[in-house]
Amino acid sequence: MTIRTRFAPSPTGYLHIGGVRTALFNWLLTRRHQGTYVLRIEDTDTERNKPEALQPILDGFRWLGIPWDEGPEVDGPYAPYFQSQRFATYKEAAMRMLASGHAYTDYLTKDQLDSERKAAEVAKKPYIHRGPHRATPADECVRLYAANPTALRLKVPEGRSVVIDDVIRGRVEVQTDTIGDPVILRPDGRPLYNFAAVIDDVAMKITHVIRAAEHLSNTPVQVLVYEALGLPMPTFAHVPVVNEPNSKKKLSKRDMKKFVTADVRAKLRMVGYTDEQIESRDDLNPATVAFYRELGYLPTAIVNYLARLGWSLDDKAEKISMADLIANFSLERVSSAPASFDPDKLYWLAGEYMKELPLEEKVAGCVPFLQRAGLLGASPTPAEIEKLTKIVTAAGDRLKLFSDILTYGRPFLVAKIDYDPKGVEKRLKKAGAADHLRAFAEVLKTAEPFDVPTLDKSLHEYCAAKAIKSGELVHPVRVATTGVEVGVGLFDALAILGRDTVLARIEDALRLA
């Protein structure tokens, strides 16, 4: 059997981290078994669809490196399948169910249905709808529908159980007497989710339906649709939800603004977003893939991290290559317990992957962030790229995200630096700091060559001669030349800035001391 899986998002919001984890599990299973992974956009709910949300979904998967394997032919990558382009298929299947007596017409109005529901609430009974035409012969339902199209409902068999053998959650059994007759086709011909998903999964020959645990409640109805149409059923696997950090609450895009901390806001501002955009945009929060792309996370780190959310290779491995993920992934090792999202671990993992990135690729990844911040032009010169390469080299393992270059690179790419008031107060106005800065500036005027070893030696010789600790000079020099208290190694910083800039900035800083 050739394994075929699918991921089927609705374009009602931006690409969610939990959704990507589910898609990734589908993709990994097919890659391990040389199968096919399909992307299907479930866009039949026209009232909730957001056209602007579709492209970020497509771009997000391509950026992460988990593309789908088939779809309508277009220039370049495959397009996904769209349910909105398949209405005729759903109509034909619904008519078959109507003709076979597995579905029936329902002409009740919304007000009548609401009245039924309220009556059940008053009686404190579960609302299990059974329509008036449930017992109407199939041929009569077909005649009624032809004369006056209306909603069609699945005729749920009574007095039996539906059994689902879920790969992750085990045996699940639901009594049909607890299931109301669901609408499968609206009066305007649009299908409902539980019906359309089955028709599509059969048409696309999906062998494994791997989806979020919240869909488990939909599965009994879908099983009944498979049975009514006499169609082969796939293997079901419902993956656990992803919870908020240190919480038992599901990670939700609607609630994630609280994780846009002051530090996160500062980074988003640094990469070019206004406070208004941060507040209004749905994708600028830690529950969406776009958030991590905007901050310059490596997609390989995100894929690795999401694969480990609820799945394990062994009891200790955290950093796992894509090749090893593909070679070892199995549904049997997916936990049924909810996974907890840990942004700190993701950030750590991003740093581990950045360490391994070739220098040239690091530099190239930093360029767009510097351009967006106005620190580099649209076409950087060879000299600018050479300088940036020195900055990236000096930043070393401090550079965990591409956007970190805005923190570590800014002092070297602006003509005039802004001095951190706290740094000025703490380092430049400290007793004796100004005198040491003036004296060390004289040393720097004759330091030759103006490189890291010479500058390191010059500063330590000065400190030894003055009988002071090196920190008493290192910190004032750093603030004087970069404006901040933290950054790349001091001697790397001085060498990158060059003698003239260093001396000019020390002179400016002394006016503040």
Would you give the DSSP letter of residue 73?
A: -
Q: Which amino acid is at 256?
A: M
Integer Cα distance of 132 and 69 in angstroms? 45
Given a contact cutoff of 8 angstroms between Cβ atoms, the answer to whether 251 and 244 are in contact is yes
HSE-up (13 A, CA, CB side) for residue 484: 12
Q: Is residue 91 annotated as part of the catalytic site, yes or no?
A: no
Integer Cα distance of 120 and 366 in angstroms? 61
Which phi and psi (to 5°) does residue 112 adopt? -65, -40
Cα 299 to its chain centre, rounded Å, is: 10
Which phi and psi (to 5°) does residue 77 adopt? -65, 160
Nearest to 222, CA basis, from 150, 166, 145, 169: 166
- How would you classify the pairing of strands 208-212 and 235-239? parallel
Given a contact cutoff of 8 angstroms between Cβ atoms, the answer to whether 483 and 413 are in contact is no
Nearest to 97, CA basis, from 231, 3, 206: 231
User: From the candidates 155, 253, 387, 400, which is the catalytic residue?
Assistant: 253
Given a contact cutoff of 8 angstroms between Cβ atoms, the answer to whether 362 and 353 are in contact is no
User: Catalytic site residues?
Assistant: 253
